[in-house]
Amino acid sequence: MYGAILGDIIGSPYEFDKGDKTKDFPLFSASSHFTDDTVMTVAVAEALLDTDGQSDDVIRTGLVRSMRKWGLRHPDAGYGGRFRIWLRSGSPKPYGSFGNGSAMRVASAGWLYGTLEETRRIAALTASVTHDHPEGVKGAEATACAIFLARTGRTKDKIREYITREFNYDLSRTCDEIRPYYHHDESCQRTVPEAITAFLEGESFEDVIRTAVSLGGDCDTLTCIVGSIAEAFYGVPAALRVECKKRITPEMRTVLDRFDVARGQIPQPRT
């Protein structure tokens, strides 16, 4: 959660290819702020906490309720056009999206469950209320699985192997190969593999974030996704956790505190 939110905030000034494709930039500036990525990450976390152990239908209903509540509370956070319509619909239904929004908001599903199978199932549910295209679901599942594998001690080689085998993402390219040709793209297909590649190349939490920003593209979302995985592998430095809490609302901090308590109670599976 901290990693996802920090990734969103740090990447926000460089969205829409506004960066210089370099790792040398200030982590925070006057234009660093949370966006819809953070709002929906918090919304999904709250819904999963509120519906823990309940049926799939109850979880879906909770997700819709929480996402709409948080979305309408922050109406100008930067949502895509179809999602804005969904937020205000009298009868919100999934709309076949394969956008990267399903992957940006899924971080909590990677932490709250004791098995990879349950993690993957819940991740699919979080996508399905809006992004029910197979690629949208796949992006959410892949991101949550990478978080689960990272937090349970798998090596980067094992994570690469699993994601490649299960989701058929191309993780063979280096960031140097991706960077020159990569531009703003809001699809899961052109965001999740690049985010995971940045994680695989990075050497610390901060270096992963800087590597992702250097790729350009839909930078706040790309960096939100990669930050969520990097936190699970490296942890987040204490100073950045403090900075994260400073830059979100008190209501968001309340959900983050609930999440910290809940994830501390999850048994760690044997690796």
Looking at the domain assignment, is residue 24 inside a domain?
A: no
Let me know if residue 122 belongs to a domain.
yes
| Rounded Cα–Cα distance for residues 189 and 225 (Å) | 13
Q: Is residue 7 part of a domain?
A: yes
**Residue 25: inside a domain:** no
**Is residue 121 in some structural domain?**
yes
Predicted confidence band of residue 268 (pLDDT cuts 50, 70, 90): low
Give the pLDDT confidence score for residue 265 in this predicted structure.
65
pLDDT of 19 reads 78
pLDDT tops 70 at residue 141: yes
Residue 157 falls in which region: left (phi positive, over 0), alpha (psi -120 to 50) or beta: alpha
Residue range 215-244: average pLDDT?
96
pLDDT class of 27 with cuts at 50, 70, 90 = very high
**d(Cα 87, Cα 55) in Å, to the nearest integer?**
23
Cβ contact 223:248 at 8 Å: no
Over 50: is that where the pLDDT of 120 sits? yes
Which range marks the domain in which residue 201 is found?
Answer: 2-12+35-263
d(CA 198, CA 3): 14
> What is the domain-level CATH number for residue 53?
1.10.4080.10
Residue 241 is assigned to a structural domain of this protein:
yes
- Count how many domains the chain has: 1
Q: Does residue 21 lie within any of the structural domains?
A: no
Segment (H or E) for 2: helix 2-11
Enter the pTM of the model.
Answer: 0.95
